[in-house]
A and B are shown apart, each in its own frame.
Chain A
Amino acid sequence: MTETELHRLTEDGRRLVGESFMEGEATLTEEQLNEYVEPMPGNPTADLDRIDSAVQQVLEQYPEYDTAIDGALAEEIHRGLDITRRTAGDPGLWHWLAVVRYPDLVRHRWEYRSEEAMREKFLGAGSDLYSNAIHRLWWIAQLTSRQDDYSTTDAVFANQTMVNKVFDRWFARYQPAVRAMCDELAGESSRVIDETTRRFNHALTNVQLEGLSEAEASEMIEQIVVESR
């Protein structure tokens, strides 16, 4: 395993990302990018070779815009990027990964529907879990895995309604609640997922989220799922 030093795209570098680049009609040369790429503070490293080969495989084996790509890559990206949450909190890292390292993957997974939507896939990140194409996979895996066990992660990505409804909420930042939610909702219909997340979000105006253990959250959600069916 070889470790590669991680970089970040500076804020000014975001302006390199134009319509033609996002559509895949233009590429950014190393010369253009150099000025806007800098090392991450603390010089973290990661096993990008592992991610490179996983991405290569996905590009070859999955049709364009296939949502199954998410499940196929999330674990590999999370294992390859063994970084702290602090490092992962820097949007510049995700911009570098999406714009410089894996733009083909972003375009392969996400159809270009509007400049605005595509911009989010390349340049989202920060507190919005659901935005940047790679950031989203890493964070969802981070929040749903248990050491080497990615079964919850796989279950989430098997159902895009779950990805949408759970990870677009604030409570998705709290690991015990999000794991409990994903486990309880596995196999439920879209309607139940929708109603359960809505009711849980409403109940959290009475119950302090961060005071819940995973078991307490599970008990609460289990009951809500029953009422939502």
Chain B
Amino acid sequence: MDQEQIQITEAAKWFFFSGGPGAPRYGDDPTKHAVDHDSEAFVREVIQNANDQGLQNDDPVEVTFRFVALTGDEKEEFLKGLGWENGLGERMRSVADTHNGHRYERVVERVNDPDAELRLLIIEDRNTTGLTGSWDEDSNYAALVRDELYSSKQDDTAGGSYGLGKSVLWTFSGASTVVFNSHLAHGERESDSPRLIARSKFPTHQLPADDTTYQGAGWLCQPIETDDGPRPESFWGEGASRLAEQLHVERPAVNGTSAMVVEFQDPTRDERPDVEELAQEFVDASVKYFWPAIYRGDLEITVETPDETLTADVENAPAIRPFVEAYEKRTTDAQTLVTPGDVAGLDIPVKLPPRADGSETPAGSVRLSARLASPADDDSYLNNVALFRGAGMVVKYYDQSRVAYGDRNFFGVLAAGEARPEGAPSESDREIDRFLRFAEPPEHDEWESTENLREQYQRGFRMALDDMFGTLRDGLRHLISKGNNSESLSDNVLNRFPIHGSGNPRATTSPAETVFEIDSSSRFDGDAWTISGRIKVLPEEFGGWSADISLTGVGEDGSQYDDIPIKHVKIEQAGVTASYDDGRAHLVADEYVDEVSFSGRSHPNETADLVHGDVGATQLEIFAELQTPEEDQS
């Protein structure tokens, strides 16, 4: 250790505010009790915090969990840097003596036992904002280092909005102490990076030498005097770098934060699992909850132990892969599932109430897709629907086993908000994302009616959620049901979805739903199929429209065969042209035609035989597309 570093370490002090007489006393950090505390919850909260702080560029957020085990001289050196003999050790011994402090006794023992190992967990994120801002303002820094239950997140799509998630860092520290080292992406002191500070969260305590009652929060810092009294100030630049190295929390000079949990331990476990086991749990939890973000290339997660480096890879997680496939193919036109592995999907209309300030919200939809399970699939999350939005974190696996029957098991995905489209999100996607974010409770594991929703939206938010889930369940039932006979669907389902084909005419009024009313019939008259139908445009204003009419043979097991070529289609109205391509009829109507009746015939096959596979179950499909004056819409 050279001269300069000795000075830094000496300047480093543990600073605690004195509570003063009558100040509230905390038995322990109150936020520690607010969320479930298994290591899965830890990984979820920590990654979500990093994911929310992602910079607005095309690069992914990278998160590395690094386990470090310290013994002997390394441990000594680390404790020196952490100021163990410079305030921290004394505090912890005092706290351990109080009736709330038993957990700290074990840490004190571990520190004093030369053979015991000290376990550090460093969570290093890259391509994130870093701890910007100062103590006295509303900033990332203040939210993490100063405040409790307070959030300062990037934008409306962020995963968290409660400020609770970060508390898990202290919950999983046996010493209730976390060190931060950060490279700032912007702000006044960006060029002074890195920035280092450590924070402890103890119960309220007294020291044996004085009568002062200290608040539980303490900082390893350079205390400075301000007009408002003493304040903890971070270490900056070269000094911070050197201390970071001593504390094993050094990081490359890229934007983001490294947080180090001192003496990592899972508060829900009695035993101390080995690091390899923990690493695998971390990888599993990362993939389980963040596969949408990983799949979209927005997030990369690795876990390092002294012996190996593991990567959270969606391809190598059999329990998750079926969901990834359902998401990958979510835009499919298929609405029926025939063989295991098939994916089918539906739009679930969502109608939001106006915002609290009275501004109207656009109607939109979320995308439901389901993949039919095969017996070979890993069934850990069988018959669940993964719910997520733009942040790319699975909010929950929604158990819908009631919908499954026989061998019709499935893996479902509800891609909402900015996670729905393949390209740029629409205005309604963004609004739905925002709405659902406010519908998440502090644990971010549900979409439900919350105080936040009440503050942000007018009445009707509860019904909007109930409707979405109701339609989701009906839609799922439709996708999972066998066969594609739309007549077997309940009116309830028919009224909710824009499904065309045979059946009774039906109309809906929501702009996100059907824009056509379609009625059709088909029959085999001995040597050819005759078809007829009516297509009616529902909106009053439109810029013209088109429709594709096709006939497809279907097998006993539901598999679809080649098109049965349509020979001609006759239309009564003027303003409509018909053309034929590859056996399909294509109608184009101008903006003055709001209803068309057609009749037609397939190419005749005089030798057609019912038992030799010439003629059989046949599907008449009509796919119509409407042009609004500004844009295309189906």
Q: A119-B377, A169-B557 are in contact. List 8 more A-B contacts (CB 8 A).
A: A15-B378, A120-B374, A132-B375, A170-B557, A202-B555, A204-B556, A206-B610, A207-B610
A18–B397 CA distance with the chains assembled, in angstroms: 23
B residues 551-574 touching A (CB-CB < 8 Å): 553-557, 559, 561
Q: Would you call B613 and A198 a contact (CB within 8 A)?
A: yes
Distance in Å: Cβ of A73 to nearest Cβ of chain B: 21
Q: Which residues of A contact B557 (CB under 8 A)?
A: 169-171, 201
A residues 170-197 touching B (CB-CB < 8 Å): 170-171
Number of interface residues of A (CB under 8 A): 36
Known: A19-B316, A198-B555, A224-B612. A205 touches B617 (CB 8 A): yes
A143–B610 CA distance with the chains assembled, in angstroms: 27
A115–B316 CA distance with the chains assembled, in angstroms: 8
B residues 595-634 touching A (CB-CB < 8 Å): 610-617
**Chain B residue at smallest Cβ distance from A123:** B376
A175–B556 CA distance with the chains assembled, in angstroms: 16
**Chain B residue at smallest Cβ distance from A120:** B376
Q: Would you call B375 and A128 a contact (CB within 8 A)?
A: yes
Known: A19-B316, A205-B555. A131 touches B612 (CB 8 A): no
**Chain B residue at smallest Cβ distance from A198:** B561
Q: Would you call B611 and A203 a contact (CB within 8 A)?
A: yes
Q: Would you call B561 and A171 a contact (CB within 8 A)?
A: no
A residues with a Cβ closer than 8 A to B are: 11, 14-15, 19, 91, 115-116, 119-120, 122-128, 131-132, 169-171, 198-207, 209, 220, 223-224, 227
Q: Would you call B340 and A128 a contact (CB within 8 A)?
A: yes
Distance in Å: Cβ of A188 to nearest Cβ of chain B: 15
Question: Which of B321, B555, B611 contacts A116 (CB under 8 A)?
Answer: B321
A205–B615 CA distance with the chains assembled, in angstroms: 9
Q: Would you call A205 and B375 a contact (CB within 8 A)?
A: no
23 A-B residue pairs with CB within 8 Å:
A11-B379, A15-B378, A115-B318, A116-B376, A119-B378, A122-B376, A124-B376, A127-B407, A128-B376, A131-B375, A169-B557, A198-B613, A201-B557, A201-B613, A202-B555, A203-B611, A204-B555, A206-B616, A207-B611, A209-B556, A220-B611, A223-B611, A224-B612
Q: Which residues of A contact B614 (CB under 8 A)?
A: 199
Q: Would you call A202 and B553 a contact (CB within 8 A)?
A: yes
Q: Would you call B374 and A202 a contact (CB within 8 A)?
A: no
A195–B611 CA distance with the chains assembled, in angstroms: 15
Known: A201-B559, A202-B561. A125 touches B375 (CB 8 A): yes
Q: Tell me how many residue pairs across A and B have CB atoms closer than 8 Å.
A: 93
Distance in Å: Cβ of B55 to nearest Cβ of chain A: 34
Known: A123-B376, A126-B407, A207-B611. A202 touches B318 (CB 8 A): no
Q: Which residues of A contact B375 (CB under 8 A)?
A: 91, 123-128, 131-132
Distance in Å: Cβ of A127 to nearest Cβ of chain B: 5
**Chain B residue at smallest Cβ distance from A127:** B407
Question: SS class of chain A's interface: helix, strand, loop or mixed?
Answer: helix
A17–B318 CA distance with the chains assembled, in angstroms: 10
Number of interface residues of B (CB under 8 A): 27
Question: SS class of chain B's interface: helix, strand, loop or mixed?
Answer: loop
**Chain A residue at smallest Cβ distance from B338:** A170
Q: Would you call B374 and A124 a contact (CB within 8 A)?
A: yes
**Chain B residue at smallest Cβ distance from A228:** B613
Q: Which residues of A contact B556 (CB under 8 A)?
A: 169-171, 201-202, 204-205, 209
Q: Which residues of B contact A220 (CB under 8 A)?
A: 611-612
Which of B376, B554, B617: most chain A CB closer than 10 A?
A: B376
Q: Would you call A199 and B407 a contact (CB within 8 A)?
A: no
A120–B374 CA distance with the chains assembled, in angstroms: 9
Q: Which residues of B contact A19 (CB under 8 A)?
A: 316
Which of B318, B611, B612: most chain A CB closer than 10 A?
A: B612
Question: Which of B340, B377, B610 contacts A203 (CB under 8 A)?
Answer: B610
A171–B557 CA distance with the chains assembled, in angstroms: 8
Distance in Å: Cβ of A189 to nearest Cβ of chain B: 18
Q: Which residues of A contact B617 (CB under 8 A)?
A: 202, 205-206
Q: Which residues of B contact A170 (CB under 8 A)?
A: 556-557
Distance in Å: Cβ of B415 to nearest Cβ of chain A: 22
Which of B374, B375, B559, B613: most chain A CB closer than 10 A?
A: B613
Distance in Å: Cβ of B225 to nearest Cβ of chain A: 60
A128–B612 CA distance with the chains assembled, in angstroms: 26
Q: Would you call A202 and B610 a contact (CB within 8 A)?
A: no
Beta-carbon contacts of B90-126 to A below 8 Å, as 1s and 0s?
Answer: 0000000000000000000000000000000000000
Which of B378, B554, B615, B616: most chain A CB closer than 10 A?
A: B616
Distance in Å: Cβ of B298 to nearest Cβ of chain A: 24
Distance in Å: Cβ of B314 to nearest Cβ of chain A: 12
Q: Would you call A227 and B379 a contact (CB within 8 A)?
A: no
A19–B315 CA distance with the chains assembled, in angstroms: 11
Q: Would you call B374 and A128 a contact (CB within 8 A)?
A: yes
Known: A123-B375, A198-B555. A206 touches B615 (CB 8 A): yes
Distance in Å: Cβ of B31 to nearest Cβ of chain A: 35
A206–B554 CA distance with the chains assembled, in angstroms: 11
**Chain A residue at smallest Cβ distance from B340:** A128
Q: Which residues of A contact B318 (CB under 8 A)?
A: 115, 119
A169–B374 CA distance with the chains assembled, in angstroms: 15
Q: Which residues of B contact A202 (CB under 8 A)?
A: 553-556, 561, 613, 616-617
Known: A170-B556, A209-B556. A131 touches B376 (CB 8 A): yes
Distance in Å: Cβ of A26 to nearest Cβ of chain B: 15
Q: Which residues of A contact B615 (CB under 8 A)?
A: 206
Distance in Å: Cβ of B573 to nearest Cβ of chain A: 34
Which 3 residue pairs spanning A and B have beta carbons closest together? Answer: A199-B613, A205-B617, A201-B555
Q: Which residues of A contact B553 (CB under 8 A)?
A: 202
Distance in Å: Cβ of B529 to nearest Cβ of chain A: 14
Q: Which residues of A contact B559 (CB under 8 A)?
A: 201
Known: A120-B376, A200-B613, A220-B611. A205 touches B561 (CB 8 A): no
**Chain A residue at smallest Cβ distance from B325:** A116
**Chain A residue at smallest Cβ distance from B375:** A126
B residues 313-354 touching A (CB-CB < 8 Å): 316, 318, 321, 340
Q: Which residues of B contact A11 (CB under 8 A)?
A: 379
Q: Which residues of B contact A14 (CB under 8 A)?
A: 378-379
Q: Which residues of B contact A124 (CB under 8 A)?
A: 374-376
A200–B612 CA distance with the chains assembled, in angstroms: 7
Q: Which residues of B contact A115 (CB under 8 A)?
A: 316, 318
Beta-carbon contacts of B372-403 to A below 8 Å, as 1s and 0s?
Answer: 00111111100000000000000000000000
